[in-house]
């Protein structure tokens, strides 16, 4: 299992932070890792994220389960970038840069050190993006996420639907697991056996009961929210829990702005490209 | 005279493709039932991804079952509900998927809204073969995970081998065995 929706209680900086600056921090890191294609720059961001996790008294191993679950995808992105990444494509035009060919007989798919360096950065980038989501979910209650959406003028009905959807995730996870067990008892071989046609045929065996369960749940949700007065002046709905920006949130927002400006300047002045690590490695070789 | 007859006949052929105004209802209708569908199918998509349920078609390539939910779910939830399904389906694989999923779920919602059976299968399949891989390929390139557009396009096109039949089979089974589903999807 990969992603977990649970809050690990704590009194850390990230726990205390309002959901809005926390989301912005999450978005900011996602944007700045796209800026940089150098493993040292991206690695430094990863290190900062790991330190932040430790500061929250949250296990890095527990948070990193999602990265482990995404490792096949990570490896695939890495391999694709080694061969087709812009750094590799550019460097392969100079034959002296080529280390080896992935298909040596035909001299196809040359691999260069520049390609490998950039590929490492892309893998770390993906790991950061996936890891961060789990970290946010570990430190933010769903209700805060919804309140943040409402504060950002997201329509109340959409925010309500999103929050109910979030709360239904564990229910569907249990239902899916039960249905898989039940179908396996009836001889269902799962989604990993047989050829592609068999697997495609096996998917509705799982999805049909889940959809029927979904339809039933939707009707129950509709009745429940109608019973709780849905539709009566939804825009002026109040919440038992209020979120308010405090000094720590404003300071975080200011730091986020500074990080964004500095990263953007670095990006537009040509820093943070794979050439930084590549030149360091070349220097070591010399 | 003949041309008028021909154009009328052409209209008669074309008309059943589209749902009537009564069948469609309001485009932004988002009552309690639509919220229920959006929440249920959004939650389901999230759960399927979180559990890692999908069809492995090659090492490292897992065709997520959540994508089928993201295609069929908007048929129930309507256009506004499709936004919720898109957000909830996207979130388990990080924030960069949100802008990929939301427009696609809205697109499928519009197809189900305007087209009658079986035309929505035809148009959805065409969109899955064209718009879906193009859209994903563009974002993969922006994020740098798959830097070559055509490789990204092809990898998403492979996914259609799973999504198109799964989506058709699922809808047909639901139409056959669930009167509620048949009434809503059409």
Instruction: Kindly list the structural domains of chain B, giving each domain's residue range(s) and its CATH number in brackets, ordered by start.
Output: 24-185 (1.10.1760.20)
Q: Is the pLDDT of residue B6 over 90?
A: no
B42 touches chain A (CB under 8 A): yes
Percent of residues, chain B, with pLDDT higher than 70: 90
Lowest-confidence pick of A68-72, A260-264, B30-34? A68-72
The pLDDT of residue B1 is 52
How far apart CA A63 and CA A138 sit, in angstroms, is 8
Q: Is the pLDDT of residue A282 over 90?
A: no
Q: Which of B37, B42, B43, B87 to mutate to test the interface with A (most CBs of A within 10 A)?
A: B43
Token reading at B145: 């995970």
In angstroms, the separation between the Cα of residue B21 and the nearest Cα of chain A is 24
Token reading at A253: 């927002």
In angstroms, the separation between the Cα of residue A192 and the nearest Cα of chain B is 6
Q: Measured between CB atoms, which of B35, B40, B60 is closest to A225?
A: B35
The pLDDT of residue A278 is 83
Query: Which of the 8 DSSP states describes residue B117?
Result: T
In angstroms, the separation between the Cα of residue B92 and the nearest Cα of chain A is 7
Compute the count of residue pairs across chains A and B with CB atoms less than 8 Å apart.
228
In angstroms, the separation between the Cα of residue B161 and the nearest Cα of chain A is 9
Q: Which of B34, B41, B44 to mutate to test the interface with A (most CBs of A within 10 A)?
A: B44
Which residues on B lie below 8 Å from A196 (Cβ)? 55, 57, 161-162
Average pLDDT, chain A: 88
C-beta of residue A67 within 8 angstroms of C-beta of residue A130:
yes
Q: Which residue do the tokens 């990929």 mark?
A: B100
CB contact residues (below 8 A), chain B span 83-122, against chain A: 83-84, 87-88, 91-96
How far apart CA A128 and CA A113 sit, in angstroms, is 23
- CA of A64: how far to CAs of A127, A171, A212, B158, in Å? 9, 24, 34, 29
Point out which residues pair with B64 in neighbouring strands: B54
Whether residue B39 and residue A3 make contact (CB cut-off 8 A), yes or no, is: no
How far apart CA A267 and CA B2 sit, in angstroms, is 67
Residue B64, φ and ψ in degrees, nearest 5: -60, 135
In tens, the pLDDT along A210-226 reads 999 999 999 999 999 99
Which residues on A lie below 8 Å from B143 (Cβ)? 34, 125
Q: Which of B29, B54, B60 to mutate to test the interface with A (most CBs of A within 10 A)?
A: B60
Q: Is the pLDDT of residue B10 over 70?
A: no
CB contact residues (below 8 A), chain B span 137-156, against chain A: 142-148, 151
| Global ipTM | 0.87
Is A272 strand, coil or helix?
A: coil
Strands (E), chain A: 100-103, 108-111
Q: Measured between CB atoms, which of B50, B68, B143 is closest to A173?
A: B50
Query: Which of the 8 DSSP states describes residue A159?
Result: H
A132 touches chain B (CB under 8 A): yes
The pLDDT of residue A48 is 94
How far apart CA B72 and CA B90 sit, in angstroms, is 15
Which residues on A lie below 8 Å from B59 (Cβ)? 72, 76
A183 touches chain B (CB under 8 A): no
Q: Which of B96, B147, B150, B168 to mutate to test the interface with A (most CBs of A within 10 A)?
A: B147
Whether residue A196 and residue B162 make contact (CB cut-off 8 A), yes or no, is: yes
Percent of residues, chain A, with pLDDT higher than 90: 38
Q: Measured between CB atoms, which of B69, B144, B161 is closest to A34?
A: B144
Whether residue A219 and residue B36 make contact (CB cut-off 8 A), yes or no, is: yes
Of A230-239, B20-29, B172-181, highest mean pLDDT: B172-181
Q: Measured between CB atoms, which of A130, A132, A207 is closest to B65?
A: A207
Q: What band does A151 get if pLDDT is binned at 50, 70 and 90?
A: confident
Query: Which of the 8 DSSP states describes residue A140?
Result: S
Higher pLDDT, A84 or B96: A84
- Give start and end residues of each alpha helix (H) in chain B: 2-14, 21-24, 32-50, 66-90, 98-114, 119-129, 131-143, 149-177, 179-185
Whether residue A158 and residue B170 make contact (CB cut-off 8 A), yes or no, is: no
Q: Which residue do the tokens 């849905």 mark?
A: A230
């Amino acid at each position: 299992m990969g992603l977990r929706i649970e809050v690990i209680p704590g009194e850390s900086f990230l726990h205390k932070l309002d959901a809005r600056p926390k989301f912005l921090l999450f978005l900011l890191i996602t944007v700045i890792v796209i800026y940089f294609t150098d493993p040292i720059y991206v690695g430094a961001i990863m290190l900062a994220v790991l330190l932040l996790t430790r500061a929250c008294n949250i296990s890095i191993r527990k948070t990193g389960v999602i990265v482990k679950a995404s490792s096949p995808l990570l490896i695939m992105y890495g391999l694709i970038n080694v061969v087709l990444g812009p750094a590799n494509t550019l460097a392969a035009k100079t034959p002296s840069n080529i280390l080896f060919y992935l298909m040596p007989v035909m001299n196809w798919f040359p691999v260069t050190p520049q390609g490998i360096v950039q590929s490492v950065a892309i893998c770390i980038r993906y790991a950061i993006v996936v890891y961060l989501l789990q970290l946010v979910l570990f430190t933010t209650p769903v209700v805060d996420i919804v309140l943040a959406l409402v504060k950002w003028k997201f329509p109340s009905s959409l925010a309500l639907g999103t929050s109910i959807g979030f709360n239904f995730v564990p229910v569907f996870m249990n239902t899916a697991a039960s249905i898989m067990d039940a179908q396996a008892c009836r001889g269902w071989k799962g989604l990993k056996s047989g050829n592609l046609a068999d697997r495609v045929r096996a998917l509705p065996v799982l999805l049909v009961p889940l959809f029927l369960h979904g339809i039933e749940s939707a009707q129950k949700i509709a009745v429940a929210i109608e019973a709780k007065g849905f539709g009566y002046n939804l825009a002026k709905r109040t919440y038992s829990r209020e979120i308010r920006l405090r000094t720590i949130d404003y300071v975080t927002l200011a730091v986020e702005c500074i990080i964004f400006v500095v990263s953007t300047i670095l990006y537009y002045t040509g820093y943070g490209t794979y050439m930084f690590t590549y030149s360091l490695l070349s220097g070591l070789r010399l | 005279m003949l041309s008028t007859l021909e154009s009328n006949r052409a209209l008669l052929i074309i008309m059943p493709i589209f749902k009537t105004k009564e069948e469609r209802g309001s485009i932004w209708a988002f009552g309690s039932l639509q919220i229920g569908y959006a929440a249920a199918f959004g939650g389901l998509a999230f759960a399927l991804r979180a559990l890692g349920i999908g069809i492995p078609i090659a090492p490292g390539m897992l065709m997520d079952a959540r994508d089928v939910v993201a295609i069929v779910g908007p048929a129930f939830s309507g256009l506004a509900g499709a936004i919720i399904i898109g957000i909830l389906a996207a979130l388990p694989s990080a924030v960069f998927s949100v802008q990929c999923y939301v427009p696609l779920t809205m697109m499928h919602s519009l197809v189900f809204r305007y087209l009658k059976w079986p035309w929505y299968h035809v148009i959805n399949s065409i969109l899955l073969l064209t718009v879906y891989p193009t859209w994903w390929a563009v974002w993969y390139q922006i994020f740098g995970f798959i830097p070559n557009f055509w490789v990204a396009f092809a990898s998403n096109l492979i996914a259609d081998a799973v999504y198109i039949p799964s989506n058709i089979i699922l809808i047909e089974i639901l139409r056959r065995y669930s009167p509620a589903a048949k009434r809503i999807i059409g």
